[in-house]
Amino acid sequence: MTKNAQETKAQRVERLKRSKNPWEALEEIRRFAREGFESIPPEWLGTYFRWWGVYTQGDGAGVTGGQNGEGRALQCFMVRIRIPNGLLRSEQLRIIADLTRRYAHGIADITVRQNIQLHWVTIEALPDLLEALAKVGLNTTGSCGDVTRNVTGCPVAGVDADEICDASPIALAASRMLAGNGDFYNLPRKFKISIAGCRVWCPYPEINDIGLTATTRVLRGTPEVGFSLRVAGGLSTDPHLGVRLNAFVRWHQVLPAILGIAELFRDSEVLREHRERARLKFLFLQQGWTAESFLEELQRRIGFQFDPAVEELPPADVYRDHVGIHPQKQPGHCYVGAAVLRGRITAEQMHAAADLADRFAAGELRTTNMQNLLIVNVPRFNTESLAKELDAIGLRVGGSPFYRGTIACSGTEFCKLAITETKSFSRWLVEELDERLPGFDQHLKLHVTGCPNSCGQHWIADIGIDGKKMKVDGRLVDAYYFCLGGALGLHQGTARPVGYRCPATEVPEAIERLLRQYLATRQAGENLRRFFARHTDTKLREFLAGAPVEAVSRDVPAVSIGGALTQSAGGDGD
Ligand code: HEM
Ligand code: SF4
């Protein structure tokens, strides 16, 4: 056996990272483009490309079609365009639309980290695509790989009538500080930052490695805006909500704090031993770290002490998708939010949205972590016309709670780790629920995820469904396992796996039964979250199934078909 054959996956990736900073190797990508797909070595396909937001696209069969927990890939790529804080100008969206039409079969996905992801991109197209993006100030640097991912923030930063502060300048500064910075190209694994100046924490700081939320203290009679600091949040197969540190982070301390945490993460050698346990959260989950020891180590590194945290009230209202017409803090102006069903948007829709943003407003758009698109700074007298035009191009400024509340990950259409198809399924599910429960009167988050990795964030949804396979009449079919009652903010908690699983085709029926129970038996003013909290797993399972049923375990043993497993490795896809 050669030395390399004995390497673990983690050792191999660590060796590759040590030997090259992919951000310094753009020339190699240009060469691959000239010489064709066959010239690309495996270390680029499996590792280095990700630093450029580029990763191989599955062949449509997901994990089932491959081996060792990973499906087969096509000779083309997914490309994630980084949109810090979701801030986007019309000329940028127009370029993305052009590139989508030219290189990505005319469709793109708005993601839960406010990015826009393209698919079907060939190696020949890649240099042109990267250059075209750079010309309008966009890039893909670090939207994938073991680096700082897109820094997310409140999509209505700067216009929200109720915000504590506009934190987007800090989010952008953090992004500039880390994306493409050679000192941080080699982290143990991905590193996610979210900074919210709003009161509702809509970019989900709790599920990031660093979550900063604006808060106010009064010091010697003067109010001062600063931030609460949470660290080590993350979802995936081992969800862990961020741990709040006893720190009031003053405005000018934010970037040093972020830098210090990034260094602490980078230098945590122990995390580099297993790819599946390499996120910051594993310092807490496995290495015995606590809020106190983390803060102490952070302060030692940055060389100053934070003032103690102030009391804060996490938001009780966990639902805000920004859809609809909302007054801004700027008098006479509104923002208009359109629901993009499961984030799927066409080149034509992006072009049209960019044109509408110019025609009716100042050409400023925002992407949201609920996979939606907003146009901001719209003079009030333009809002109705704009909303009509958005509706006309299929970007609904409204829609049922199901239409607005459903998000989905990539699924088998493009993802090599996927167990189920998610995007078409979600559209069908929404149509079904709209028909079955017309006029349903509660907002809800319905999150569809194609495997346990939770890119569709099923852990924080009211109803989170997690893709599985099931045998029905001897045939292997897509199925979903139900997790209920996830929430962030004041009532934070990951969704409860309630032991119910059914074929994908039966999901609408199961959700209908559950929600009809809710409608029929809810107490006065009781929202879904409280309803789920009031019932045991057994009861909720019964509501879903329509009769008492035994619990099934969430992680069904992988089924082997033709040498491939129907269980993703849960590890290292993006
Ligand atoms: C090839 C496989 C994969 C694909 C196609 C994929 C796709 C995506 C996409 C499109 C997003 C949206 C966010 C963004 O723009 O960055 C995302 C987010 C996410 N991914 Fe993946 N992913 C893959 C593998 C993985 C793996 C292996 C894990 C965990 C071990 C994972 C965990 C997550 C989580 C937790 C999020 C939620 C976003 C958040 O933290 O706010 N993904 N993924
Ligand atoms: S959750 Fe699974 S199926 Fe969905 S994109 Fe992530 S890795 Fe792929």
Task: Please tell me the distance from the alpha carbon of residue 154 to that of residue 212, in angstroms, as a whole number.
Answer: 11
CATH code: domain 404-563 is 3.30.413.10
Ligand 1 atom 28: residue of nearest CA: 453
Kindly state if the Cβ of 80 falls inside 6 Å of ligand 1. Answer: yes
| pLDDT at site 4 | 59
Q: Please give the C-alpha separations between residue 538 and each of 84, 460, 493, 555, in angstroms, as whole numbers.
A: 42, 20, 19, 18
Mean pLDDT of 445-470: 97
The pLDDT value recorded for residue 65 is 81
Q: What is the pLDDT of residue 320?
A: 86
Find the ligand nearest to 71 CA: 1
Q: Is the CB of 63 under 6 A from ligand 1?
A: no
What is the distance in A from the centroid of ligand 2 to the CA of 27?
31
Regarding the beta carbon of 117 and ligand 1, being less than 6 Å apart is answered yes
Query: How remote is the CA of residue 574 from the centroid of ligand 1, in Å?
Result: 6
For residue 564, what pLDDT is reported?
42
What is the predicted pLDDT for the residue at 562? 38
Does the structure show a pLDDT above 60 at 386?
A: yes
Question: What pLDDT does 5 receive?
Answer: 63
Q: How confident is the model at residue 81 (pLDDT cuts 50, 70, 90)?
A: very high
Here the tokens at position 488 are 């962030």
Q: What is the structure's pLDDT at 68?
A: 85
Q: Is 148 helix (H, G, I), strand (E, B) or coil?
A: strand
Q: What is the mean pLDDT of the chain?
A: 95
Q: Count CA atoms closer than 13 A to 44's CA, side-chain side.
A: 20
- Mean pLDDT on 430-458: 97
Backbone torsions φ then ψ of 33, nearest 5 degrees: -65, -35
Helix (H) or strand (E) holding 317: none
Angle between helices 168-178 and 254-266 (to 10 degrees): 40
Q: What is the separation of C-alpha 338 from the centre of its chain, rounded to a whole number of angstroms? A: 18
233 within ligand 1 shell (Cβ under 6 A): no
pLDDT number for residue 319: 80
Strand 446-449 and strand 463-472: pairing?
Answer: parallel
pTM: 0.96
* Cβ 260 under 6 angstroms from ligand 2: no
C-beta of residue 199 within 8 angstroms of C-beta of residue 216: no
Which ligand is in closest contact with the Cα of 152?
A: 1
Q: Give residues with Cβ within 8 angstroms of 248, minimum separation 6.
A: 215, 217, 226, 227, 228, 306, 307, 308, 309, 310
The tens digit of pLDDT for each residue in 401-432 reads 999 999 999 999 999 999 999 999 999 999 99
Tens digits of residue pLDDT in 479-506: 999 999 999 999 899 999 999 999 999 9
Rounded to the nearest 10 degrees, the angle between the axes of helix 537-545 and helix 507-521 is 120
Does residue 451 have its Cβ closer than 6 Å to ligand 2? yes
* Domain boundary assignment for the chain: 4-82+116-135, 157-302, 324-399, 404-563
Local confidence band at 561 (pLDDT 50, 70, 90 cut-offs):
very low
Angle at 215 between CA 214 and CA 221, to 5 degrees: 140
Stretch 528-549: mean pLDDT: 97
Place of tokens 């992988």: 558
| Residues across the chain | 574
Among 240, 455, 483, 494, say which to mutate for ligand 1: greatest number of ligand atoms within 8 Å of CB.
Answer: 455
Is ligand 2 within 6 A of the CB of residue 144?
no
Q: Residue 253 carries which side chain, given as an amino acid letter?
A: Q
pLDDT at 566 over 90: no
Nearest ligand, CA 411 = 2
The alpha carbon of 455 and the centre of ligand 1 are apart by a number of angstroms equal to 4
- Partnered with residue 368 across adjacent β-strands are none
Average pLDDT over residues 95-110: 98
Please name which of 198, 228, 239, 261 lies closest in space to residue 461, comparing C-alpha atoms: 239
Ligand 1 within 6 A of CB of 453: yes
Residue-level pLDDT at 559: 47
Distance CA 412, CA 569 (A): 15
Mean pLDDT confidence for 444-461: 96
Fold equal for 157-302 and 404-563: yes
pLDDT of residue 259: 98
Q: Report the CATH superfamily, name and number, of domain 157-302.
A: Sulfite Reductase Hemoprotein, domain 1 (3.30.413.10)
| 12 vs 297: CA distance, rounded Å | 29
Nearest residue to 498 (alpha-carbon basis) of 451, 526, 458: 458
Sign of CA dihedral 285, 289, 290, 291: negative
What does the pLDDT read at residue 49? Answer: 98
Which of 1.10.8.60, 3.30.413.10, 3.90.480.10, 3.40.50.720 would CATH assign to domain 324-399?
3.90.480.10
CA-based R_g, the chain, Å: 23
Mean pLDDT confidence for 138-167: 97
* pLDDT recorded at residue 432: 98
Asked whether the predicted pLDDT for residue 204 surpasses 50, the reply is yes
Confidence of residue 556 (pLDDT cuts 50, 70, 90): low
Does the beta carbon of 573 sit less than 6 angstroms from any atom of ligand 2?
A: yes
Query: How close is the Cα of 78 to the center of ligand 1, in Å?
Result: 12
What is the predicted pLDDT for the residue at 563?
39
Ligand 2 pocket, 235 CB below 6 A? Answer: no
Residue 267 — very low, low, confident or very high, per pLDDT cuts 50/70/90? very high
pLDDT in tens, 310-347: 999 899 866 889 999 999 999 999 999 999 999 999 99
pLDDT band per the 50, 70, 90 thresholds, residue 572:
low
What's the gap in Å between 237 CA and the centre of ligand 2? Answer: 11
Protein residue closest via CA to atom 21 of ligand 1? 455
Nearest to 370 by CA among 431, 324, 412, 333: 324
Residue located nearest, by CA, to atom 1 of ligand 1: 573
